[in-house]
Amino acid sequence: MKARYYVSNKEMLAEMIEYKETGIVSEELGGMIFKIAKNFSNKGNFSSYTWKEDMVGEAILTCLKYMHNFDAEKSSRPNPFAYFTQICYNSFINFIRKQKKHSKIKDICYKNQHLIAKRDGGYFFTDKGIDYQILKND
C-alpha cells in the first residue's frame, strides 16, 4: 500500500530532534526538506514560473538557514512539516518579488537603448541613464 503523505510529520520531528542534538543535517532530513519544497512548487500559484527550479533551490537554502529556529518544546503539537512549508511559501514569494524587480529593470534598460549610428557595417548603441527613483517604491 502506498503511503498517504510524502513526508511524515512524526519522522520529520524525530529527524529535527536528532539535528538539534548533533547539529548535523541528516540525509533523510535533507531529503524531506527537498520533497516539501519540490512538491510545494507544483502548487497552482507557483507551477507556471519558468524559474521554478531556482525557486526550489532558494527555498531549500532558506529552510537550512532557519531550521535552527524550530523549537519542538515550544508547542504542545510540534509540526516541523508546517514550519518548513511556511518557510518555502515565504521564500517563493520573495523570489518572485525579486525576479519581477529584475525584470522591470531589464525592461527599462531595453526601452532606453537607442540606435544612434551605423558605421562600418556595425551599429553603435547608447543608453540613457536609469532613473532608479522610479524603482525605489517597488
- Please state the domain extents for the chain: 9-100
Q: Do residues 58 and 51 touch, judged by C-beta distance below 8 A?
A: no
Single-letter code of the amino acid located at 109: C
Q: Do residues 96 and 55 touch, judged by C-beta distance below 8 A?
A: yes
Q: How far is it, in rounded angstroms, from Cα 99 to Cα 101?
A: 5
Count, in order, helices (H) and strands (E) of the chain: 5, 2
pLDDT higher than 90, residue 131: no
pLDDT higher than 50, residue 1: no
Average pLDDT over residues 122-126: 59
Select the more confidently predicted residue: 53 or 109.
53
Q: What is the pLDDT of residues 27-78, one digit of tens each?
A: 999 999 999 999 999 998 888 888 899 999 999 999 999 999 999 888 888 9
Distance of CA 30 to the CA centre of its chain: 16
Average pLDDT over residues 71-100: 92
> Which residues pair with residue 123 across a beta bridge?
118
Q: Please give the backbone phi and psi of residue 61, each rounded to the nearest 5 degrees, phi first.
A: -60, -40
Q: Do residues 75 and 83 touch, judged by C-beta distance below 8 A?
A: no
Q: Do residues 97 and 90 touch, judged by C-beta distance below 8 A?
A: no
- 58: closest CA among 31, 37, 29? 37
Which range, of 7-16, 29-38, 81-90, 119-128, averages the lowest pLDDT? 119-128
